[in-house]
Structure formats: structure tokens, C-alpha cells
Structure 1
Amino acid sequence: MAQADTQGVTVDPNLGASAEISALNHQFEGASAQDILTAAITHLFRGEIALVSSFGADSSVLLHMVSEIDKTTPVLFVDTRKLFPDTLRYRDQLVERLGLTNVRSEQPAKQDLDTQDPGGMLWMSDTDACCHVRKVLPLERALGGFSAWISGRKRHQSATRSNLNLFEREDARIKVNPLANWTSEDVLIYAKKHDLPPHPLVAQGYPSIGCLPCTSKVEPGEDPRSGRWRGQDKTECGIHLSNNQDAAPAKTS
């Protein structure tokens, strides 16, 4: 990553990866999500960063913030070909509403589906393998050429995300989590303030929305992501799992 010193944002390119991440987390501790995004998009990773969006339940917040900073920012959307039709319609609605001009939809490769999921029923026998071929591999291709990407994950969403940092290193890229500190109430307040349309499935009991076969309704009081792969020992699709992450312990405030 090139050194950036505009508006006080300075990261030494000679720092080791772990030290760089620690420096970024320290520097932006207490910063607003908008300030983190602005620095990441316009200074830290200018021309080398993309927002990865599922166009799910909370997606409108980051998409709106990015549109306010730079509508040409690449937005990567993985169409697994197993999504709710409502999600595809919601994507198109938000893109038009926010004026985003660089939304890229990536689908699973035909060769991968032909060899690993020819009948389209892999989700019934091996959800990890299904997620890998339909989401992880397409995203890896879409992220080619980017040195950083923006995620909408939040600490409150699940136990596996409770120690989430603002900045992480994942393999050769930096992952930026500007909403790490946000609560579900913060999301609702922001969406209401900016009159952002909700995903139509939220009102039907889906606070976390993935692929249709593996997403179920959530009862009051349940973990917001409990409807994902219900009944399985699985909490992530795989795009947020890496054996090469470096991050300082997250603040809990």
C-alpha cells in the first residue's frame, strides 16, 4: 500500500503487515464510519479498493455512504444463482436510487458448476462446498487487482464476529470494516435518516439474508444470523474465513 499523508492519514509502507494493521486500527479508533470510508476510498487505497455487498438486510447503509463519497467506487456483488428474487430486485432498486455507476455482478463459473454442482443441489449434501463454488471462488475472481475491500460486518451480529476490528489483513489484501462498532439500532437510525428502502424480506422475519435454500426466518430473541444454515455447525459462508489474518485484539467499547 502506498504511503498516504493527506488529511493526516499516514501509513508507512515499510511497516510489516501486522504492524500496519495495528497502526490503522489505532489511528482510526473512535473515527466515524464515514471518515473511515472516506480515508480508505480517497487516500489509503485510492483506485485499489472495492465494496463487497450482498445487497442484504443492512447493505443500504454502506452503499449510501459510498455513493456520497464516490459513486464510481467498484461494488462487487456475487450472484450465486441461488438468491431470493427479492434480493436481485432490491439490488436494482438501490443501484438506481443511489446512482452507483460501477456495480459488478459475478456468478459462479460454468465449469465449476458443471464439475462440482451439475444438478444444482450441492447445498443439500455439503453447504461448505456449495458456498465455496458459488460464492468464495467468484469473489476471489472479482477481487483480482484490488489491494483492499470493504465489508459490512458488525460485532453484534454473532459470536464469531464479536472481536471484529476496523482493519484486518486477509491473505494479500486489507479488509475494512467501517461498521464494526455499529448496532442494529445504529443501522435503523441511519437508514431512516436518509430514507433508505429496506430489503423487503426483513419485514417478513429475515434479519440476515443469504441464499434461498439456506436462509430461514428468525424468531424474536434469536441471534440475527441464526437463520443462516439453521441446524448446522456453520456460521459463515467462507468469504470471511482465512488462515492468514493479522489483527490486534478488537476494542469492546
Structure 2
Amino acid sequence: MPLNEFAERRNLLHRDSDAQTVLRHALDDIQLGKVAMVSSFGAESVVLLHMISQINPATPVIFLDTEMLFPETLQYQKDVAKKLGLTDVRVVTPSRAAVLAEDVDGLLHQADTDACCDLRKTRPLAAALKDFDGWITGRKRYQNGQRAALPLFEKDGDKIKVNPLANWGPADLKAYIEKHNLPRHPLVAQGYPSIGCMPCTSRVNAGEDPRAGRWRNSEKEECGIHFENGKMVRRGQAA
């Protein structure tokens, strides 16, 4: 079955399903195949990670360590994985040879953020997902740009991407975290509602979009992990 048709059928099937049902089906779907979750262990990641732990804590979880993350994120990843009992967290780093060839001084992000994300995120993720048929993300429609039309299931190259929290809003996330007494990323309380690499993440002021601190003062709004036909999403390209 063509992947576009597969995604359309799953979206129809789950048009009224809650996030846990979508997630459980994705993990058990024989037609979908082998699935991994990709998590940044960022500001809201603990919600989906907790759901995974309740369904199958042995689910492969891919964590991209770009080698430019906040120390708080690296520690949070270890603490959350331990607390939730996740048994197959795979820490993926960029190719040492590629970093030495393309960013030996660690300053590539100052000259070309797209190239830096490609080196440290997009290519390492592609390699990590090579043996999987689908992957689970924590993206949501309320987040800006193309995410406003985000489906639960979508074709992503030769794989299916699953977005169980697509229709969740900030209030849903807050309520779930409080209900299950889940640990928050320590930087959230310091004014970072969206957390990426240190050089490209800044505090967000009151009234700003939660992702305003990502690549501030630039048109860039996605790292390149989520893109179509090789093109990164840029602010203003799509409603």
C-alpha cells in the first residue's frame, strides 16, 4: 500500500481517537512495521515519554545529542529515562569525521544554522532511523508554521511519521504533567518553554510565542528533522 494512502487510512481510523490509542496502535501496527520514538527530552517531551513507558517501556527512543545541548538537557534525559523505566534509549551523536571536516571549531552555527542542523541533527537521525519503518514525534498543531495542519499520520520520505499529540494544546500538556506528577525540564522555570541547542535557544519574554526563543531574529523555525522534499520549513511559507 502506498504510504500516502496508508497515512490517510490511519487518519480516518483515528479521527476521534485519543493520543494513547493512536500511540498504542502505532506501536502494534503490523502494517506499519518497526517504529521508534524520537525525543529531544525538551520542555514537553515527558508527556509522550510517559505514555510510551505505560504502553511499552522497551520501545526504542532515539535522543539526538548534538554536542551543543544545555547540560540541563543531558542530565534531564538521564533522569527521565531512569524515572520512567525506559530501557532502550539510544543516544545518537553526529559523525566524528563529519564534525571534524565541517565544524572543527564548533562555530558553524554562526555562519549557517541550516548546515549546522543538517550536520548535527538531520543526518544523524536519518542514520539512526535507517532500520525503522516509522517514527513517533511530539509535534503539535498549536506550534507555529506548517504544524497548524499537522495530521496524526503522515508520509515522511520512505517512512510514516506519527504525531499522537497533534491536537493537544498547552493546557492539555500542563494537565497531564500535573496529573502524573512528571518532572519538568529545569530550564522551563527559567523562561525556556522550547529548548534546543544552547547557541540557538534564548529565553522567551511574556506574551511571546513559545518558540520565539528558537533561532531568534531569523526566518528559521525548524531544525530540518521535520521537512518535506528536502526543504526545511521557514516562517511564513505556509499557513
Counterpart-to-counterpart distance in 2, 1:244 and 1:136: 10
State whether structure 2 residue 220 is matched by structure 1 residue 234.
yes
What stretches of structure 1 of length at least 5 have no aligned partner? 1-14, 246-253
Distance change (3 Å), C-alpha of 1:44 and 1:194: farther
Distance change (3 Å), C-alpha of 1:67 and 1:47: farther
State whether structure 2 residue 192 is matched by structure 1 residue 172.
no
Distance change (3 Å), C-alpha of 1:22 and 1:178: same
TM-score (norm 2): 0.94
| Correspondence for 1:188 | 174
What's the CA shift string for 1:80-110, capped at 9, x where partnerless?
0000000001001101100000000000101
Q: What is the letter of the counterpart of residue 71 of structure 1?
A: P
Counterpart-to-counterpart distance in 2, 1:32 and 1:201: 29
State whether structure 2 residue 4 is matched by structure 1 residue 49.
no
| Correspondence for 2:18 | 32
Counterpart-to-counterpart distance in 2, 1:82 and 1:244: 24
What stretches of structure 2 of length at least 5 have no aligned partner? 232-239
After TM superposition, the runs of 4+ consecutive aligned structure 1 residues lying more than 6 A away are none
> Structure 1 residue 114: deviation in Å?
1.0
| Correspondence for 2:236 | none
| Correspondence for 2:8 | 22
| Correspondence for 1:140 | 126
> Structure 1 residue 44: deviation in Å?
4.2
TM-score (norm 1): 0.89
Counterpart-to-counterpart distance in 2, 1:95 and 1:23: 33
The residue correspondences of 1:71-220 to structure 2 (distance < 5 A) are 71-220=57-206
Counterpart-to-counterpart distance in 1, 2:31 and 2:191: 37
Structure 1, 62-71 or 16-25: larger mean CA deviation: 16-25
| DSSP-derived class of the 2:228 partner | coil
> How many residues are matched?
231
Counterpart-to-counterpart distance in 2, 1:149 and 1:128: 22
CA RMSD of aligned residues (A): 1.4
Q: What is the letter of the counterpart of residue 143 of structure 1?
A: L
| Correspondence for 1:66 | 52
